[in-house]
């Protein structure tokens, strides 16, 4: 059978790294093929070469047996190739429908595109509001727009980079069913995920990259997760130790927090009540776009409309405090957006430490450059960040390595309360294990942590208690031992009112 896609000797050299080194890859029609590798292994560069966003220095691409030069994403789409990026390619000032329209044949009227978005979103279980401006969307909602845009092109080859991070377990099952149906009709799928269980459940073949080279080709259905991990990072990720401990005094208390939506596309918060104690991790589960952004903005101080007493830190009302004053009191925050909020893309890692760390700033506002570089170097070394050094631009790092730097910057500050959004989104198993272990170590040292994540497995692994946010409301809290994936999945649809809480289970603000 003629391969749908064939790569022969693909190479790409950047100034400080050889991202792809003689890569061969073949994907058959109707095949779901995984590309596996740790952060910085060269996966994203390879996918961008296939999609025409990056040009190779060496090698050949063949599509349906014919040599092709994919000079741009538009050329890729004309060939029948669509891609969903891990880091999105959407215009913030346009609506979701307008962004989708840009990637389609102009013979479609915008009204027809809106109608088709509704059909595809319904068929695939992806909640997308076509009229909503992209700048009002959370990271998860933007990913849904990207997925819908790719599916609307009816591609012969579909590239998916971390597509399930925004979905409930039930929606993941539905998406997998859809992908299998697409493959049965002849669509080839290149699937990138750090969730090894997904790769084993979905994919027929797997190509493993390490250091820009192919290091293995296996049938993932015949491999264990530990075996795939060894192929990817050369070892099994360390096992996390989540020891039981008695939490201390309340650090964060939220009571009666209600906020109107800032615009017609936002989510209003309704009577939010929760607390976090010293030495515990409270996990917040939920499908993206259900109020997570609004809640985090209120807690971090980006939105200061909350009544002061509705948010308390160590008993002191902080609802009207600015972010800097909250940081001085010990509250640190890791946002979900790495580029643009967590870091300034064009600035060096050393300069990006100054966004939340004041140690290198001297009296009068003078910046001690050497101190900033030393701080960045310490974070790079402690958290195993693969970067050219403190002077490397934030945008030059892979997604996972940038995430390690951002999380490391806040953990290294020694916070008393750490609020983290999507701590390991798009991060390989080794890096995810490191970040989770650091969060647990921080908790064991007495810090209070509030972790918002759409990775249920992650929350079950590190959290002591769980709440669910849906439609701007927060559920009662459950001890992790009393929760289950099926129950939390139901609650993510806002159904906890009809689901009795076990006797004696604490309320979110117990």
What pLDDT does 498 receive?
A: 62
288 CB contacts (<8 Å, ≥6 apart)? 138, 139, 140, 141, 143, 144, 166, 454
Predicted confidence (pLDDT) at residue 503 exceeds the cutoff of 50:
no
Residue 228 · residue 200 · CB < 8 Å = yes
Residues 230-244, mean pLDDT to the nearest whole number: 79
Q: What confidence category does residue 360 fall into, taking pLDDT thresholds of 50, 70 and 90?
A: very high
Helix (H, G, I), strand (E, B) or coil at 356: coil
If you average pLDDT over residues 246-256, what whole number do you get?
96
Residue 285: what pLDDT?
93
Angle at 449 between CA 488 and CA 170, to 5 degrees: 20
Alpha helices in 383-455 (DSSP H): 399-411, 429-444
The closest of 420, 353, 430 to 386, measured between CA atoms, is: 430
Which domains are delineated in the chain?
5-233 (3.40.50.300), 239-330+415-510 (3.40.50.300), 338-413 (no CATH)
pTM recorded for the entire structure: 0.74
For residue 486, how many other CB atoms are within 10 A of its CB? 10
| 3-state SS class at 285 | strand
The token pair that represents 375 in the structure block: 């701080």
Top pLDDT among 108 and 13 is at 13
Tell me the average pLDDT of the chain: 89
Buried b vs exposed e over 102-128: b needs ≥16 C-beta within 10 Å? Answer: ebeeeeeeeeebbebbeebbeebbbbb
**Confidence at 509, pLDDT banded by 50, 70, 90:** very low
Q: List, as one string, the DSSP characters of 32-71.
A: EEEEE--TTSSHHHHHHHHHTSS--SEEEEEETTEEE---
pLDDT(502) > 60:
no
pLDDT at 30: 96
Asked whether 273 and 474 are in contact (CB, 8 A), the reply is yes
Output 17 or 238, whichever has higher pLDDT. 17
- Say if CB 225 and CB 271 are below 8 A apart: no
Predicted pLDDT at 150: 87
Pairing of strands 448-452, 281-285: parallel
pLDDT band at 298 (very low <50, low <70, confident <90, very high): very high
**pLDDT surpassing 70 at residue 302:** yes
Q: Please state the rounded mean pLDDT for residues 321-327.
A: 95
Strands 188-192 and 157-161: parallel
Length of the chain: 510
Residue 506 has pLDDT above 70, yes or no: no
Average pLDDT over residues 479-488: 88
Scan for tokens 């790495």, then name that residue.
338
* Cβ neighbours around 504 below 10 Å, total: 7
What pLDDT does residue 90 have? 86
Yes or no: say if 27 and 188 are a contact pair by the CB < 8 Å rule.
yes
Residue 201: predicted pLDDT: 93
Condensed to tens digits (0 to 9), the pLDDT of residues 142-193 reads 878 888 888 888 899 999 987 776 566 666 787 788 889 889 989 999 999 8
Average pLDDT over residues 379-387: 91
């Amino acid at each position: 059978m003629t391969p749908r896609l064939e790569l022969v000797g693909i190479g790409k050299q950047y100034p400080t790294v050889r991202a792809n080194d003689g890569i061969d890859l073949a994907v058959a029609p109707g095949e779901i093929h995984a590309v596996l590798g740790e952060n910085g292994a060269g996966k994203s560069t390879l996918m961008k070469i296939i999609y025409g966003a990056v040009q190779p220095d060496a090698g050949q691409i063949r599509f349906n047996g014919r040599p092709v030069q994919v000079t741009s994403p538009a050329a890729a789409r004309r060939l029948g190739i669509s891609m969903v990026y891990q880091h999105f390619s959407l215009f913030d000032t346009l609506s979701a429908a307008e962004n989708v329209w840009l990637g389609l044949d102009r013979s479609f009227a915008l009204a027809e595109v809106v109608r088709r978005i509704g059909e595809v979103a319904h068929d695939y279980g992806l909640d997308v509001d076509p009229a909503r401006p992209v700048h009002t969307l959370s990271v998860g909602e933007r990913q849904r727009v990207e997925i819908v845009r790719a599916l609307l092109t009816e591609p012969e080859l579909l590239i998916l980079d971390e597509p399930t991070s925004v979905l409930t377990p039930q929606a993941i099952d539905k998406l997998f069913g859809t992908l299998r149906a697409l493959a049965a009709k002849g669509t080839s799928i290149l699937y990138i995920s750090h969730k090894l269980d997904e790769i084993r459940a979905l994919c027929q073949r797997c190509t493993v990259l390490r250091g820009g080279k192919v290091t293995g080709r296996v049938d993932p259905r015949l491999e264990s997760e530990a075996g795939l991990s060894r192929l990817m990072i050369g070892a099994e990720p360390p096992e996390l130790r989540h020891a039981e401990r008695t939490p201390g005094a309340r650090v964060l208390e939220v009571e009666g927090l209600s906020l109107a939506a800032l615009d017609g596309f936002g989510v209003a918060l309704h009577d939010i009540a929760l607390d976090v104690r010293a030495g515990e991790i409270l996990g917040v589960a939920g499908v993206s776009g259900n109020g997570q952004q609004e809640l985090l903005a209120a807690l971090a101080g980006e939105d200061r409309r909350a009544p002061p007493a509705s948010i308390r830190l160590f008993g002191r009302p902080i609802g009207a405090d600015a972010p800097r004053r909250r940081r001085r009191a010990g509250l640190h925050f890791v946002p979900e957006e790495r580029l643009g909020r967590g870091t300034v893309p064009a600035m060096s890692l050393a300069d990006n430490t100054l966004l939340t760390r004041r140690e290198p700033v001297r009296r009068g506002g003078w910046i001690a450059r050497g101190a900033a570089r030393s701080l960045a170097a310490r974070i790079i070394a402690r958290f195993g960040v693969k970067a050219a050094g403190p002077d490397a631009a934030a945008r030059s790092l892979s997604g996972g390595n940038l995430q390690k730097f951002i999380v490391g910057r806040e953990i290294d500050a020694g916070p008393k309360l750490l609020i983290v959004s999507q701590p390991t989104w798009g991060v390989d198993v080794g890096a995810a294990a490191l970040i989770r272990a650091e969060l647990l170590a921080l908790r064991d040292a007495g810090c209070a942590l509030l972790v918002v994540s759409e990775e249920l497995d992650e929350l079950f692994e590190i959290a002591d208690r769980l709440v669910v946010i849906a439609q701007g409301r927060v559920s009662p809290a459950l001890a992790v031992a009393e929760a289950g994936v099926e129950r939390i999945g139901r609650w993510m649809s806002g159904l906890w009112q009809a689901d009795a809480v076990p006797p004696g289970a604490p309320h979110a603000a117990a």
